[in-house]
Structure 1
Amino acid sequence: MLTLTSVWTTILLAAAVALGPLATDMYLPAMPQIGSDFGTGTDQVQLTLSLYLAGFAIAQLICGPLADRFGRKPIMIGGFVLFALASLGCALATNIETLQVCRFLQALGGSAGPVLGRAAIRDIYTPREAAKILAILASIMAVAPAVAPTIGGVLVTGLGWSSIFIALGAYALIMAVVVAYGIPEPMRPEYRQPLKPCALLKNYRRIITDVSFLGYSLTNAAIFAGLFAFLSGSSFVLIDFLGVAPRHFGLYAACVVAGFIIGNLTAVRLGRNLNTDQILVRGLMVAVAGGATMAILAYQEIYNVWAVILPQALFMIGTGMVLPQTMAGALANFPTMAGSASALFGFIQMALAAVAGGLVGHFHDGTSLVMASIIAVCAAIAMACYLILVQRHPAPGFEPQGASSR
């Protein structure tokens, strides 16, 4: 079994966390085909994505406290098994309603990987170190959304969309075995929390009333909502509106993910000389520029693939700089209840993302205008949350990243 600080432990945690983006990104090229097969509209197909996020958000509030009581590993393993069973249900679905229900159940299990992966990083590292590790982890994890749409496009073209869910279920089972036998339990025994309703409510109340936590969480959630607005609308915009072949969809998605990786690596490099506040504001400025550019091009009716992909790649550079800092900042004050803090953080993140995805599906007009507008608004909200909350109430325990080198 690996040591907690081993680079392979970080890689395996990244693989566990990657189940979340795999479950959203791999089936994006199949969404138009699912709508055609079930004879339903864009809004109902998109609802399978929003319901996944809603289930993901709700489940985190449960698995976080459970992990604070029983440890990270058993909850993560149980979540992967549930995810695999729900994936089989998705593959066998014969109507859109069944697929929606199974996607919700899939999310209940899939939430364990991301929420407990973040908590495990906080268990192992200090807040300053965690920001760097989360950025590295995010770069590794970004391989999943880079290759997932391409794999999904090949599967839907050759074997049909149900094969995507079979592949996801198999991945979850493999990760259950890897976590069981490859990673030690990262949580210290003395940090275990009682599993009592009053204690849970008290913990959540303490966390949500921490202005620093709220600021980092809302900044993160707003920028993530912009990312999810793109995930919700990109397949319909690129495939249905702009005529991209499903098998080529993943190539354009890889360009967007490349932006995210560049942002992550930039954050790591800047962390040698700049503090978290300086990295955050630079990332937010880049994200706002990307979102505004896409919206302006759409309002000018400049409709082509690169008018969507290039601004979104710029937005993702900013996103890659912002997400690791806000994750580490939100968890910095809660070393003894990192599972609950990570769960509440994830709930806020996914709830706002579900709203953004729902708005894209509801108001989609057949062009890129709605998607681009929502991405731009999300970036602006993230900047406002930073200026109003984070800048005024930084996490007291969140040391500048360059402090150790001075």
Structure 2
Amino acid sequence: MHNVQATKLSRATFMFPLALVLFEFSVYIGNDLVQPAMLAITKEFGVSSAWAPSSMSFYLLGGACVAAILGPLSDRLGRKKVLLGGVAFFTLCCLLILLTNSIESFLTLRFLQGFGLSVISAVGYAAIQETFEERDAIKVMALMANISLLAPLIGPVVGAFLIDHVSWHWGFIGIAFLAFLSGFGLKAKMPTTKQSIPKQPFSYIWDDFKKVFKNKRFLSLTLGLPMVAMPLMLWIALSPVMLVDELGLSSMQYGLAQFPVLGGLILGNIVLLKIIDRLALGRTVLLGLPIMLLGTAIVVVGVMLPQYFIYCVIIGMTMVSFGEGISFSVLYRFALMSSEVSKGTVAAAVSVLMMFSFFVVIELIRMLYEQFHILAYGFSCLALIVLWFSFPRRALMQVLQERREAGEF
């Protein structure tokens, strides 16, 4: 464990998460700017457009593969050292991808760039949760989410512009520059945690992970996270193919279609910030998930009535993203705090489960999409939200009941 005294959110203490969110923005736009360019990239490499979603799934797989190392490593070496090293590695990989000349080498670099996702989730988020008090930590996560959501809003439009007027290569140059800048901010403003974890062999990491994964509540809450986040992830991965390839929208129309959907997520996070101090912690989840369920049902209606699909999918996914906005940060906090093991290790376990889930589901739905098209997309979104109402909801209700009995609101 690190001896970190929780602090209140203020203008001075917010400088660290502001520097972190700049790196988070560069990592996220590393996906959102690239996805609309994937149709041009697959054409340049002479492969099928069915490879387009693989750019995102390999990005997520890269994050999943190193999370188990980065979290415990930051417990022992300090969050700041590992975070700064991750920023430098991500920046380098963004520049190296400019040299690729095949889909295989491109996806290899995408896999390595994905390490940046784990740097944020297994190291950066753990530092946020340790640095700030409970409700302030959730507020910081929601504020960071709103800033980082500029990536999926700006990314598709910028990506479309690059495709039409210059080259996708310039996108990676810009991403590398942003990541490079964030490194300076983190070096100056990130608190250096006092290390108090015993100097034990790294074999103890395995023992820590066993403790985490044997925790049934941790597993239930953590496996619920990708169920909540996956419909929007599928939208980001598949919307270029659905809207451009199938419906014939232009690259710019595709980019503009992202605004209401991702705007719903921003609005959800703003609402969370406004009401979190007025409601029992976790209440927003019980409000958000039914909204998400209704949204996915509207998407399925659009699937069954293809002439209305574009309207139904935008309305439905906007509702889904709004529900996610008022739910996800709270669910993440509950999952992270469901184990007493050092938070770097717990955050790593959360990241591993989430990103492997993302990779498997995106690749599975990608293959189903080749056969069943929008039918696979719509029913998959609905099934994921329906599934959350099983064991993840039961685990959440147990947490809320315990907090109520303990007088925590």
What one-letter code is carried by the residue in structure 2 that aligns with 1:63?
A: L
Q: CA deviation at 1:254?
A: 2.0
- Residue 121 in structure 1 maps to residue 132 in structure 2: no
Which runs of 5 or more structure 2 residues have no equivalent in the other structure? 1-8
1:209 alignment partner, one of 204, 210, 214 = 214
In structure 1, the residue matched to 2:47 is 40
In structure 1, the residue matched to 2:322 is 317
Q: Give the 3 Å change call, closer, same or farther, for CA 261–385 of structure 1 in structure 2.
A: farther
Task: Give the whole-Å Cα distance in 2 for the aligned partners of 1:303 and 1:240.
Answer: 17
In structure 2, the residue matched to 1:370 is 376
In structure 1, the residue matched to 2:22 is 15
Which runs of 5 or more structure 1 residues have no equivalent in the other structure? none
Deviates more, 1:123-132 or 1:61-70: 123-132
Q: Note the alpha carbon deviations across 1:102-156, whole angstroms, 9 max, x for none.
A: 1111112442123322111111123343223222222222222221221222222
Task: Give the whole-Å Cα distance in 2 for the aligned partners of 1:402 and 1:136.
Answer: 23
In structure 2, the residue matched to 1:270 is 275
The TM-score, its normalising length taken from structure 1, stands at 0.91
Q: Give the 3 Å change call, closer, same or farther, for CA 17–368 of structure 1 in structure 2.
A: same
What one-letter code is carried by the residue in structure 2 that aligns with 1:237?
A: M
Task: Give the whole-Å Cα distance in 1 for the aligned partners of 2:113 and 2:403.
Answer: 36
Q: CA deviation at 1:317?
A: 0.4
Is the 1:30–1:153 contact (alpha carbons within 8 Å) kept by the matching residues of 2? yes
Q: CA deviation at 1:172?
A: 1.8
Give the root-mean-square deviation of aligned CA atoms. 2.5
Is the 1:274–1:402 contact (alpha carbons within 8 Å) kept by the matching residues of 2? no
Q: In structure 2, the residue corresponding to 1:196 is in which secondary structure?
A: coil
Q: Give the 3 Å change call, closer, same or farther, for CA 137–325 of structure 1 in structure 2.
A: same
- Residue 31 in structure 1 maps to residue 38 in structure 2: yes
- Residue 326 in structure 1 maps to residue 331 in structure 2: yes
Q: Give the 3 Å change call, closer, same or farther, for CA 395–194 of structure 1 in structure 2.
A: farther
In structure 2, the residue matched to 1:243 is 248
1:59 alignment partner, one of 60, 66, 81 = 66
Q: CA deviation at 1:279?
A: 1.2
Q: Give the 3 Å change call, closer, same or farther, for CA 141–278 of structure 1 in structure 2.
A: same
Task: Give the whole-Å Cα distance in 1 for the aligned partners of 2:202 and 2:404.
Answer: 30
Q: Give the 3 Å change call, closer, same or farther, for CA 394–5 of structure 1 in structure 2.
A: farther
What one-letter code is carried by the residue in structure 2 that aligns with 1:59?
A: V
Is the 2:269–2:326 contact (alpha carbons within 8 Å) kept by the matching residues of 1? yes
Is the 2:284–2:326 contact (alpha carbons within 8 Å) kept by the matching residues of 1? yes
Q: Note the alpha carbon deviations across 1:364-386, whole angstroms, 9 max, x for none.
A: 24843222221111111222233
What one-letter code is carried by the residue in structure 2 that aligns with 1:189?
A: Q
In structure 1, the residue matched to 2:75 is 68
Q: In structure 1, the residue corresponding to 2:334 is in which secondary structure?
A: helix
Task: Give the whole-Å Cα distance in 1 for the aligned partners of 2:118 and 2:78.
Answer: 15
Is the 2:302–2:310 contact (alpha carbons within 8 Å) kept by the matching residues of 1? no
Q: In structure 1, the residue corresponding to 2:342 is in which secondary structure?
A: helix
Task: Give the whole-Å Cα distance in 2 for the aligned partners of 1:67 and 1:257.
Answer: 32
Task: Give the whole-Å Cα distance in 2 for the aligned partners of 1:218 and 1:332.
Answer: 14
Q: Give the 3 Å change call, closer, same or farther, for CA 346–396 of structure 1 in structure 2.
A: farther
Is the 2:76–2:195 contact (alpha carbons within 8 Å) kept by the matching residues of 1? no
Deviates more, 1:308-317 or 1:360-369: 360-369
Is the 2:20–2:182 contact (alpha carbons within 8 Å) kept by the matching residues of 1? no
Is the 1:68–1:339 contact (alpha carbons within 8 Å) kept by the matching residues of 2? yes
Deviates more, 1:131-140 or 1:286-295: 131-140
What one-letter code is carried by the residue in structure 2 that aligns with 1:218?
A: L
1:260 alignment partner, one of 261, 265, 271 = 265
Task: Give the whole-Å Cα distance in 2 for the aligned partners of 1:397 and 1:17.
Answer: 32
Task: Give the whole-Å Cα distance in 2 for the aligned partners of 1:393 and 1:341.
Answer: 17
Pairwise mapping of residues 119-158 of structure 1 onto structure 2 (< 5 A)?
A: 119-158=126-165
- Residue 49 in structure 1 maps to residue 52 in structure 2: no
Q: In structure 2, the residue corresponding to 1:391 is in which secondary structure?
A: helix
Q: Note the alpha carbon deviations across 1:202-234, whole angstroms, 9 max, x for none.
A: 211222222332222111121122221111111
Q: CA deviation at 1:336?
A: 6.3
Q: In structure 1, the residue corresponding to 2:114 is in which secondary structure?
A: helix
Q: CA deviation at 1:323?
A: 0.9
Q: CA deviation at 1:318?
A: 0.7
Q: Give the 3 Å change call, closer, same or farther, for CA 307–274 of structure 1 in structure 2.
A: same
In structure 1, the residue matched to 2:6 is none
What one-letter code is carried by the residue in structure 1 that aligns with 2:184?
A: V
Sequence identity (%): 23
Q: Give the 3 Å change call, closer, same or farther, for CA 88–285 of structure 1 in structure 2.
A: same
Q: CA deviation at 1:352?
A: 1.2
Q: In structure 2, the residue corresponding to 1:287 is in which secondary structure?
A: helix
Pairwise mapping of residues 67-216 of structure 1 onto structure 2 (< 5 A)?
A: 67-185=74-192, 187-190=193-196, 192=197, 194=199, 196-216=201-221
Task: List structure 1 segments (4+ residues) > 6 angstroms apart after TM superposition.
Answer: 397-402
Q: Give the 3 Å change call, closer, same or farther, for CA 160–400 of structure 1 in structure 2.
A: farther
Task: Give the whole-Å Cα distance in 2 for the aligned partners of 1:294 and 1:393.
Answer: 31
Q: In structure 2, the residue corresponding to 1:197 is in which secondary structure?
A: coil
Q: Note the alpha carbon deviations across 1:76-104, whole angstroms, 9 max, x for none.
A: 11111111221122222111011011111
In structure 2, the residue matched to 1:233 is 238
In structure 2, the residue matched to 1:291 is 296
Q: CA deviation at 1:7?
A: 2.3
